[in-house]
């Protein structure tokens, strides 16, 4: 396998940022013949809060799964910014994810330019980021996957509790989302973002959440909302918490659904629990 660590200057973030990329281009058979041909299908894979662009590689078997699917992985660093635009501090992560990174990745690597060959997925903060940017940029991503996504209706639901981790405080939420008006009007409030989608049936969304996860009720609520709005959605639950074992299962299940071994697989409209 070819696992690359790249640094490049981002014009939307105004700084040099790190990127991890997996390429299946070096796979060979027993006759020393290359097994794969470009251009490749690709998945943008987002990490959670406190994480980095190397989390998925370090914590799951994603490289094995991607090799089996002949899939390129694009894994950016999202820092702790929830993958949204923050023009007040020159940090436009939404535009970076939805516009700049797909384009520069195709310039640097042998990735297909077809919409149907690019997906976006993530866990927790990254699950929110995948939904937020997949919904905001429907012409960029053909499929969206959110695992234990951090889905909220209000921008500032957190209490100022000295015992809480920083990412559950009002001060942190304000630094990310500014205020409720900005949150609602710039695609960050996912329920309102879906309401503004011109053709919701064009979206394809895959969601999972563990039955012991503290975000379970929010995942159930949003999946029901998607179904009611006519968005094709697969929603699955399984025993597990906010943890890597669950996310390893989730990414494997998603990839088997998106890229089945035997034939093309359609997207079902409705909720599925297992």
Q: Which stretch of DSSP H or E encloses residue 134?
A: helix 125-136
Residue whose C-alpha is closest to residue 84's, from 216, 211, 229, 184: 184
Q: What is the residue whose two structure tokens read 């987002």?
A: 46
Pairing of strands 205-210, 233-238: parallel
Residue 147 to residues 48, 89, 248, 260: CA-CA distances in angstroms? 10, 28, 10, 19
Task: For residue 136, give the 3-state DSSP assignment.
Answer: helix
Answer yes or no: is pLDDT of 160 > 60: yes
Q: Residues with Cβ < 8 Å from 181, sequence gap 6 or more?
A: none
In this prediction, residues 185-194 reach a mean pLDDT of 95
pTM as predicted: 0.91
* pLDDT tens, residue by residue, 194-247: 999 999 999 999 999 999 999 999 999 999 999 999 999 999 999 999 999 999
CATH of domain 2-153+189-258: 3.40.50.1820
Q: What percent of the chain has pLDDT over 70?
A: 89
* pLDDT tens, residue by residue, 64-122: 999 999 999 999 999 999 999 999 888 999 999 999 999 999 999 999 999 999 999 99
How many angstroms separate the CA atoms of 149 and 83, rounded? 13
């Amino acid at each position: 396998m070819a696992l690359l660590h790249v640094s490049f200057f981002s014009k939307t973030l105004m700084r040099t940022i790190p990127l991890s990329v997996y390429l299946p281009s070096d796979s060979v058979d027993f006759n020393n013949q290359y097994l794969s041909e470009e251009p490749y299908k690709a998945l943008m894979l987002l990490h959670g809060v406190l994480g980095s662009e190397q989390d998925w590689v370090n914590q799951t078997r994603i490289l094995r799964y991607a090799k089996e699917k002949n899939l390129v992985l694009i894994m950016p660093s999202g820092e702790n910014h929830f993958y949204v635009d923050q023009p007040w501090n020159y940090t436009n992560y939404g535009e970076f994810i939805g516009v700049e990174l797909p384009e520069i990745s195709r310039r640097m690597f042998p990735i297909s330019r077809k919409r149907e060959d690019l997906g976006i997925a993530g866990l927790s903060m990254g699950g929110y980021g995948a939904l937020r940017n997949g919904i905001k940029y429907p012409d960029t991503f053909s499929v969206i996957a959110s695992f234990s996504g951090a889905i909220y209706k209000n921008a500032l639901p957190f209490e100022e509790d000295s015992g809480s981790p920083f990412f559950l405080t009002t001060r942190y939420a304000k630094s990310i989302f500014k205020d409720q008006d900005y949150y609602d009007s710039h695609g960050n409030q996912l329920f309102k973002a879906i309401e503004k989608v011109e053709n919701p049936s064009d979206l394809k969304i895959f969601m999972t959440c563990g039955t012991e996860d503290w975000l379970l009720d929010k995942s159930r609520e949003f999946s029901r909302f998607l179904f009611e709005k006519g968005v094709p959605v697969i929603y699955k639950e399984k025993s597990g918490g906010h943890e890597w074992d669950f996310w390893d299962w989730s990414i494997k299940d998603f990839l088997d659904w998106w890229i089945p071994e035997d034939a093309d697989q359609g997207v079902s409209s409705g909720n599925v629990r297992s």
